[in-house]
Amino acid sequence: MLILLLHAGESFVGFAPDLLAFESEELIRSSVKEKHTKGGFSQRRFERLREEDIAHHLEKVLKVVNKILEEKLEIDCVILGGDTQLIKEIEKRLPFELEILEKSMDLKLERLCGKEVLSTVLSCRRYLL
């Protein structure tokens, strides 16, 4: 499985052949400005620059994803988490024959290692009604 945790400025890409560990993993960081709260022309220019930063970050993520897809032909599914706009954008660019699952996760990637990311992604909550 291919796991993508997408956030503006910091994303995680990992390939796990089984449920135990990642075979390859990469944390991708980019400089992305914070959101602007003031109004006027300054805000529009700032937001445009922020959107360009996010697009550049997404291109870096896609390079890593494409490299993994070229090397690993036996990917069964892709698990996506993180920012919904980035998830929608990456879904447009992934091959359609891959099964794509979205999972809501709030992870601070700088504090986690690959094993913790994998266990969090694969965990679930079961409710008895």
Task: Write the pLDDT tens digit of every residue in 12-65.
Answer: 888 988 878 788 888 888 877 666 555 666 677 777 888 888 889 899 999 999
User: How high does pLDDT run on average in the chain?
Assistant: 80
Which domains, ranges and CATH numbers included, belong to the chain?
Answer: 2-122 (3.30.420.60)
Nearest CA to 11 among 25, 27, 22? 27
For residue 35, what pLDDT is reported?
62
Task: Report the predicted TM-score, pTM, of the whole model to 2 decimal places.
Answer: 0.77
Under the banding of pLDDT at 50, 70 and 90, the label for residue 108 is low
For residue 33, what pLDDT is reported?
66
Rounded (10°) CA dihedral 36, 49, 84, 106? -60
